[in-house]
Structures are given as structure tokens and as C-alpha cells.
């Protein structure tokens, strides 16, 4: 309860910074990729290759567990980071595969805003 009150009092930028710090501490102490990603979902998009790598690893973990909704969330966030230009097609492909499994034969919805080239 006290933690919630303190969290609400933080300015949005400070909250984002705290989530980023928490993600790095979790990573350094051996947390799972998904535990780290839970913090990264609340951080600003900076084009950080480490963030993209963790989010992609989290998507793989989620997919192995059968949670394609979580995997899709991680991959969409990875694309918003954004990944390096040479990595973007692979991330889009991973997202497409994930959505195809999740949605069956429907066209992947999340791919539309992410063309292979800009």
C-alpha cells in the first residue's frame, strides 16, 4: 500500500527511469527474460539493442509456454524500441509467426504498421 502511494507520487519520467533501473538490476541478478521484460514494457523507446534482445527472448519464453498474447506484446514493444534496421525484418517475422499461431488463419494485425523498409 505504501509502495503504491509512493509510485503514484512519482512523475511519469521518474517512473520510467525506475522501471529501467529495475530491469537492469533484474537482468544483472539472473532474473528470467520475462521478469526483465515486465519492467521494460514501462520504459521509453530509445532504440536500445539490449531492450530489443530481452524482449525477443521474452517472446520466445512466452511462446514456449503457449502464451502467444504475451509474446505478441513483447514483440510489438520490441518494434517500437525500435530494433536496428538489419534486425527489424526478423522481429517482424517473429511477430507474424506469433500472431499466426494466436489468430489461426487471420492476417496478422500487428504487422500493418511495421513495413520491412522505411
Asked, for residue 113, whether it belongs to a domain, the answer is no
Cα separation of 57 and 66, whole Å?
14
- The predicted pLDDT at position 72 comes to 94
Tell me the three cell numbers of residue 64. Answer: 514456449
Number of compact structural domains in the chain? 1
8's CB contacts (< 8 A; 6+ apart) are none
Asked, for residue 115, whether it belongs to a domain, the answer is no
Q: What is the pLDDT of residues 7-32, one digit of tens each?
A: 676 677 788 888 899 999 999 999 99
Percent of the chain topping pLDDT 70: 77
Tell me the three cell numbers of residue 48. Answer: 536500445
Before 82, cis peptide (omega within 30)? yes
Asked, for residue 116, whether it belongs to a domain, the answer is no
User: Where residue 13 sits, what CATH number does that domain have?
Assistant: 1.25.40
Within 1-118, where are the H helices? 2-9, 12-28, 33-40, 49-65, 68-80, 88-103
Asked, for residue 117, whether it belongs to a domain, the answer is no
Asked, for residue 112, whether it belongs to a domain, the answer is no
What is the mean predicted confidence (pLDDT) over 102-112?
Answer: 60
Asked, for residue 60, whether it belongs to a domain, the answer is yes
Asked if 92 and 111 count as a contact pair (C-beta separation under 8 A), the reply is: yes
Q: Which domain holds residue 19?
A: 2-103
What is the mean predicted confidence (pLDDT) over 97-106?
Answer: 75
Asked, for residue 118, whether it belongs to a domain, the answer is no
Asked, for residue 33, whether it belongs to a domain, the answer is yes
Of 38-52, 53-67, 76-90, 99-113, minimum mean pLDDT range: 99-113
Amino acid at each position: 500500500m505504501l509502495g503504491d502511494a509512493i509510485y503514484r507520487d512519482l512523475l511519469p519520467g521518474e517512473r520510467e527511469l525506475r522501471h529501467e533501473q529495475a530491469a537492469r538490476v533484474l537482468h544483472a541478478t539472473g532474473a528470467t527474460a520475462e521478469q526483465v521484460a515486465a519492467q521494460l514494457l514501462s520504459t521509453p523507446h530509445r532504440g536500445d539493442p539490449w531492450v530489443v534482445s530481452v524482449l525477443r527472448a521474452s517472446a520466445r519464453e512466452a511462446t514456449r509456454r503457449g502464451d502467444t498474447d504475451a509474446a505478441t506484446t513483447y514483440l510489438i514493444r520490441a518494434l517500437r524500441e525500435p530494433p536496428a534496421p538489419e534486425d527489424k525484418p526478423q522481429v517482424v517475422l517473429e511477430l507474424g509467426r506469433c500472431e499466426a499461431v494466436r489468430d489461426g488463419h487471420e492476417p496478422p494485425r500487428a504487422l500493418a504498421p511495421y513495413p520491412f523498409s522505411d
